[in-house]
Structures are given as structure tokens and as C-alpha cells.
Amino acid sequence: TRSYSERRARVLTPREKDILRLIRNGRLSKEIAADLNISVNTVSRHRQNILGKLSVGNSIEAVNAAVSMGLL
């Protein structure tokens, strides 16, 4: 069985962590899309998935939750 810390580390995908780091750095969705060479719709879907997985209501809460969980 995986340890709690191993499971916690897998809460977000590597791409979701990339996006959350860029959000933390103040990047807008369209800038993130350009940085990662993906569509704005894909960024929006990742954002929604992140909020759901971390059970938070907005991107600031998501960044704070991820930092407190040791994900970023």
C-alpha cells in the first residue's frame, strides 16, 4: 500500500501542478495557454479539475491549499 504522503503527492497531475505554479506566479489563463502551448479551454478545464480535487472555490485558495499540502 502507498503511504499517505505518496498518495497526497499524486493528488494533482504534473500538468496541473505546472498550471498551479503559473497561477501562483500571477499568469492569466491566456498566458498559461501560450506558455504551455495548449488552448485556453484546456487551461480552464485543468483549473476546474484543480479546484475540485483540492475542494476549494478559487485559484488563490487552490495555491494556498497546494502549498500547505506540500504539492508546490
Is the pTM value of this prediction over 0.75?
Answer: yes
For residue 67, what are the contacts with CB-CB under 8 A and spacing of at least 6?
24
For 47-66, write each residue's pLDDT tens digit.
999 999 999 999 999 999 99
| pLDDT attached to residue 7 | 64
Q: What share of the chain is helix, strand, coil (3-state, %, to 5)?
A: 70, 0, 30
Q: Are 20 and 72 contacting, i.e. CB atoms less than 8 angstroms apart?
A: yes
pLDDT in tens, the chain (72 residues): 566 666 666 789 999 999 999 999 999 999 999 999 999 999 999 999 999 999 999 999 999 999 999 988
The percent of residues in the chain predicted with pLDDT above 90, rounded, is: 81
Q: Which amino acid is residue 43, in one-letter code?
A: V
Q: Are 44 and 29 contacting, i.e. CB atoms less than 8 angstroms apart?
A: yes
